[in-house]
Amino acid sequence: MKINYAAVLIFVVAIAGCAGKPSYSNSAATSEAAPVQATSTTATEISTTTSAMIQQTSVQTLGLFLAQGKNWNSDPDADGVEVTIQPKDVNDDMVRAAGAISAKLWYSDLDSAFSNVKGDFIQEWTNIRVSRDNYDFLGAEVRLEYKPEVKQSILSHRKYQMGWLEIILTTPDGKSFTAKYDSVLLAGYN
């Protein structure tokens, strides 16, 4: 039996051409995560999927990144504090953990050894929902908006007033993780 190698080659090329090249897409790397925003003591609800609610967390610690006063409107003054949360696993890798955030803010004072300590209480935020979709490569950005009277008080202090921020992340499985940032520039870098 004689084999027509040209026909076999054409057949193989035709089959390979129909298979096409695989297409890879990483939409998470190109899209920006929406910030989580709180106003006063209420929070903008961000839906959390049912599967994320019942999933056991691998979070071991909570880190905070770049907590500072931030302006979100057209006036020149800080409207609140923006902070990026970074839940981490046992290997210190970031985990996109769903959950509820509560936050407390104090003025930062210095003790006799010139270490930052909590001063007068400023404001509290509760029940800020964060979903796995709120994360980018740095973490989940959380916006803590000042109450009007708090904003006025902060602006009446000296420009470089520092704050002490404490964040608690409670995951859907009931575990809580606390982190602090003891040098928040309350009025931002205006």
The CATH number of residue 84's host domain is 2.60.40
Residue 20 lies in a domain: no
Contact 130, 49 (CB under 8 A): no
pLDDT along the chain (190 residues), means of 10: 54 45 34 54 41 63 92 86 95 94 92 87 96 95 92 72 94 94 82
Contact 144, 166 (CB under 8 A): no
Residue 74 lies in a domain: yes
Q: What is the domain range of residue 62?
A: 33-185
Residue 133 lies in a domain: yes
* pLDDT score at 177: 96
Residue 4 lies in a domain: no
Q: Which amino acid is at 124?
A: E
pLDDT tens per residue, range 88-115: 999 999 999 999 999 999 998 888 888 8
* pLDDT score at 158: 61
Residue 96 lies in a domain: yes
Residue 14 lies in a domain: no
Residue 13 lies in a domain: no
Residue 57 lies in a domain: yes
The single-letter DSSP state of residue 112 is: T
**Total number of domains in the chain:** 1
Give DSSP secondary structure letters for 171-182. -TTS-EEEEEEE
* pLDDT score at 181: 93
* pLDDT score at 32: 52
Q: What is the rounded distance in angstroms from the CA atom of residue 17 to the CA atom of residue 19?
A: 5
Structure tokens at 132: 């796995």
